[in-house]
């Protein structure tokens, strides 16, 4: 994963009533952590992270 669609993230923040300036300030830091975590899980460092089991 490379990153988020920031336009969509800002639109979602706006729809949720989050101040646009606050979202623009905070989203890049949140994105960096989330991308790092997702990539670690996809690389197998946390093997069961994306394996919730069968859906019935």
pLDDT given for residue 1 in this prediction = 66
* Within a domain: 30: yes
- The reply to whether 40 falls in a domain is yes
pLDDT at 55 over 90: no
The span from the CA of 56 to the CA of 54, in Å, is 6
Residue 55 lies in a domain: no
Q: Is 25 contained in some domain?
A: yes
Q: Between the CA of residue 4 and those of 20, 26, 27, 52, what are the distances in Å? A: 16, 13, 9, 23
- Per residue in 2-51, pLDDT (tens digit) is 778 889 999 999 999 999 999 999 999 998 898 888 888 888 765 555 55
The answer to whether position 37 is within a domain reads: yes
pLDDT band, very low/low/confident/very high, at 53 (cuts 50, 70, 90):
low
Domain count across the chain: 1
Continuous segment of H or E residues that includes residue 32? helix 20-42
Asked whether residue 33 is domain-assigned, the answer is yes
Q: Which domain holds residue 32?
A: 20-45
pLDDT of residue 2: 75
């Amino acid at each position: 994963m490379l990153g988020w669609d920031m336009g969509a993230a800002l639109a979602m923040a706006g729809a949720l009533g989050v101040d646009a300036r606050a979202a623009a300030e905070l989203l890049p830091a949140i994105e960096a952590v989330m991308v790092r975590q997702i990539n670690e899980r996809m690389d197998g460092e946390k093997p069961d992270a994306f394996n919730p089991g069968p859906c019935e």
